Amino acid sequence: MSTVRNEAARNVPLLINGEFVQSTTSDWIDVTNPVTQEVIGRAPVTTDAEMARAVSAAEETFVTWRHTPVQERMRCLMRYQALLKEHHDELAEILASETGKTMADAKGDVWRGIEVVEHGCSMPTLMMGETTENVARGIDTHSIVHPIGVCAGITPFNFPAMIPLWMFPLAVACGNTFVLKPSEQDPLTPTRLAELWQEAGFPAGTLQVVHGRKPQVDYLLEDPAIKAVSFVGSVPVATHVYRTGTHNLKRVQCMGGAKNHMVVMPDANKEQVVNHLVGASCGAAGQRCMAISVAVLVGEETRGWMDDIRKAVASIRPGPPSDPDAAYGPLISPAAKERVEQLIGTAEPEGAKLLLDGRGHTVDGYPDGNWVGPTLIDDVTPEMTVYKEEIFGPALLVMHVDSLEEAIALVNTNPYGNGTSIFTRSGAAARKYQHETEVGQVGVNIPIPVPAPFFSFTGGKNSFFGDLHAYGKQAIRFYTETRTVISRWPEEDLPSGPNMTISMR
Ligand code: NAD
């Protein structure tokens, strides 16, 4: 599919040391509106010299920023939080133009990021250390939480506001400086986030924004000045980032892809289950790492729910952000659409039932959009391609098992471990499920259990590499070091002679 040229499309700037500058590169990446293929911007493939300037600006700024009192850092973040709220609609419009998300969903993307910034405004408390008096006679110990240096963030296309906001506001409020490499597919939203950052009064050099692809990511993974790397994206890239970053002795957290199951017990409320399955699988065109992509129906009785599920999934349709009745938007690119359609195409030949086929979907007035219609695939089994691959499209797979134990075994055998949910009226079943499933986020009668920002966004197995997770208390630990100070201020002279033991006296 060819793109539509647009003379008004602007070249996306880099942010280096407080200045928005045009890259000198000759290599530019088109940013397209996925509803029309219109080119709405061009992201630069940042040159090595510009990468070096960005990292050194962050390094030099760290020298002073780390000494800025935590309350001053917090006040900048409070102004940022206010500006994000003031510009909420505008940010959502930019976001919708480059992702095609519905306006309601685009606003939600921005809002979940604002919530993380709000939580960061309690940084003086979040960064408190600990004290114990008299750990030995006359000896006290306290711990100090301090920043680690220049941090980097590499983010995916599917939440261009929320995911960058998981990272740089917290890292910088901890006293670090930051280099962000957002997705090249939707860099306009992060650029606007960065403009508001400057407007909020953060000093030049606290945040740099560079653009590009693998070489720019690899630059950050190799540069010794970068002390910590936060990554969110697909499993193959997460694996590469984790291996390379840790090989270079950096602290790394990588949130990867997913295949999220919703287990439906026969005692669940059918209407709620049906409604939640539709929204959680096809919302955002299925391009959410927490999308429910597999419904696991337990027991013979729930087979009888398939007709209602089919009707509910068939009742929704995609459309552009300007259509308030559209349930979701297009896929991010023609390549993503082609990939999803190719995966749907493997279902029937491998023995599944294609109850709703979203391939070849059209939307009146938007012939060039990357549309995929709502798709429902029944009788899926673990060896099928549609089950093994993360589809990342508006497709719900259905599997049938006989018992809760079988459902738990299925979820635990799956290599991903991002999110899952159970729908049931039984407290015992819910307790067993949350206790035994090896998945980061568990919802009980909640389809997409994304934690509020004072908890952390976790994940396990191939959906997460590292130990400290995103936002919440764990992010503060990720972006800081702890120093312990052991002190003695004796009122009288200490006994003379060396202490030849390790004990304190
Ligand atoms: P992606 O892995 O293609 O890209 C993520 C980032 O890595 C982008 O900034 C991209 O430029 C960069 N990149 C791409 N290829 C690279 C390479 N070979 N080497 C180094 N860097 C590279 O992911 P995407 O398609 O933008 O996002 C969708 C994926 O992200 C899905 O798999 C989804 O499940 C996952 N995701 C996970 C979470 C989570 O919290 N677990 C959240 C959102 C998205």
Question: Residues 6 or more apart from 493 whose CB is under 8 A from it?
Answer: none
Say how many Å lie between the first and final Cα of the chain, rounded: 76
pLDDT in tens, 109-140: 999 999 999 999 999 999 999 999 999 999 99
Q: What is the mean predicted confidence (pLDDT) over 380-386?
A: 98
Domain that holds residue 332: 260-415+419-444
* Whether pTM exceeds 0.95: yes
371 and 464 share one domain: no
Q: Is residue 4 part of a domain?
A: no
- Ligand 1 contacts CB of residue 255 (under 6 A): yes
Atom of ligand 1 nearest to the CA of 236: 2
Instruction: Identify whether 16 is part of a domain.
Output: yes
Predicted confidence at residue 396, as pLDDT, reads 98
Does residue 71 fall inside a structural domain? yes
Residue 505 lies in a domain: no
498 falls within a domain: no
Question: Are 346 and 389 within one domain?
Answer: yes
Active site residues per annotation: 289
One domain, residues 181 and 238: yes
Secondary structure of residue 29 in the 3-state scheme: strand
Neighbours of 187 (CB within 10 A): 29
Same domain for 426 and 306: yes
CA atoms within 13 A of residue 357's CA, in its CB half-sphere:
13
Residues 465, 411 within the same domain? no
User: What pLDDT is attached to residue 358?
Assistant: 98
Alpha helix (H) ranges present in 368-493? 385-388, 404-413, 427-436, 472-478
User: Is the pLDDT assigned to residue 276 strictly greater than 80?
Assistant: yes
285 and 197 share one domain? no
Q: Domain total for the chain?
A: 2
- In terms of C-beta density within 10 A (0-12 exposed, 13-18 middle, 19 or more buried), how is residue 477 classed? middle
Whether residues 316 and 209 share a domain: the answer is no
CB 66 within 8 A of CB 58: no
Whether the CB-CB separation of 15 and 45 falls below 8 Å is answered with no
Mean pLDDT score of the chain: 97
| Average pLDDT over every residue of 432-452 | 97
Enumerate the H helices of 283-403 as residue ranges: 306-314, 334-344, 385-388
Tell me the one-letter amino acid at 341. Answer: E
Give the span between the Cα atoms of 444 and 431, in whole angstroms.
9
In short, whether 65's Cβ falls inside 6 Å of ligand 1 is no
Q: Is 320 inside a domain boundary?
A: yes
Q: Which residues of 289-302 are buried (b: 16+ CB within 10 A; e: fewer)?
A: bbbbbbbbbbeeeb
Helix axes 235-247, 214-222, angle to 10 degrees: 30
97 lines ligand 1 (CB under 6 A): no
332, exposed or middle or buried, with CB in 10 Å at 0-12, 13-18, 19+?
buried
The DSSP secondary-structure symbol of 4 reads B
Atom of ligand 1 lying closest to residue 470 CA: 40
Whether residue 76 sits in one domain with residue 223: yes
Distance 481 CA to ligand 1 centre (A): 27
Count of beta carbons in the 10 Å neighbourhood of residue 446: 16
State how far the alpha carbon of 439 is from the alpha carbons of 239, 276, 412, 459, 474, in Å. Answer: 18, 20, 8, 6, 17
pLDDT at 4 over 70: no
Confirm if 119 and 80 have CB atoms less than 8 A apart: no
Whether 166 is in the pocket of ligand 1, judged by its Cβ within 6 Å, is no
pLDDT at 223 exceeding the cut of 70 = yes
Is the Cβ–Cβ distance between 161 and 91 less than 8 Å? yes
Q: What is the largest CA-CA distance in the chain?
A: 90
Whether 237 is in the pocket of ligand 1, judged by its Cβ within 6 Å, is yes
* pLDDT-based confidence at residue 494 (cuts at 50, 70, 90): confident
**How far is it, in rounded angstroms, from Cα 231 to Cα 52?**
20
Residues 214 and 245 in one domain: yes
Please tell me the number of Cα atoms within 13 Å of 429 on its side-chain side.
22
Q: Residue 43 in contact with residue 211, Cβ under 8 Å? A: yes
Query: What's the average model confidence in pLDDT over 53-66?
Result: 98
Interface ipTM: 0.98
| CA distance readout (Å), 119 to 87, 116, 472 | 19, 5, 8
Same domain, 234 and 298: no
Ligand 1 centroid – CA 237 distance (Å): 6
pLDDT at 2: 57
Atom of ligand 1 nearest to the CA of 235: 32
Residue 309, amino acid: I
Note whether residue 493 is domain-resident.
no
* pLDDT confidence bin for 3, thresholds 50/70/90: low
> Hey, is 68 helix, strand or coil?
coil
Q: Residues 451-470: what's their mean pLDDT?
A: 97
273 CA distance to ligand 1 middle (Å) = 30
CA 390 to ligand 1: nearest atom: 32
What's the CA-to-centroid distance between 155 and ligand 1, angstroms?
6
Kindly state whether residues 348 and 407 are assigned to the same domain.
yes
Same domain, 149 and 272: no
Distance CA 262, CA 54 (A): 43
Report how far residue 396's alpha carbon sits from residue 377's, in angstroms, rounded to the nearest whole number: 6
Q: Indicate whether 449 belongs to any domain.
A: no
Domain of 90, CATH number, reads: 3.40.605.10
| pLDDT for residue 8 is more than 80 | no
pLDDT over 70 (residue 323): yes
Say which residues have a Cβ less than 8 Å from residue 35's Cβ, sequence separation at least 6. 100, 320, 321, 329, 330, 366, 368, 369
In the chain, the amino acid numbered 339 is: R
Q: Is the CB of 459 under 6 A from ligand 1?
A: yes
Residue 233 CA to ligand 1 center (angstroms) comes to 2
The amino acid that residue 76 corresponds to is C
CATH number at residue 279: 3.40.309.10
Which of 215, 236, 85 is CA-nearest to residue 161?
85
**Is 156 touching ligand 1 by the criterion CB < 6 Å?**
yes
Q: Hey, how many other C-beta atoms are within 10 angstroms of the C-beta on 359?
A: 15
What percentage of the chain exceeds 70 in pLDDT? 98
Tens-digit pLDDT profile for residues 28-57: 999 999 999 999 999 999 999 999 999 999
Per-residue three-class SS string for 249-283: CCEEEEECCCCEEEEECCCCCHHHHHHHHHHHHHH
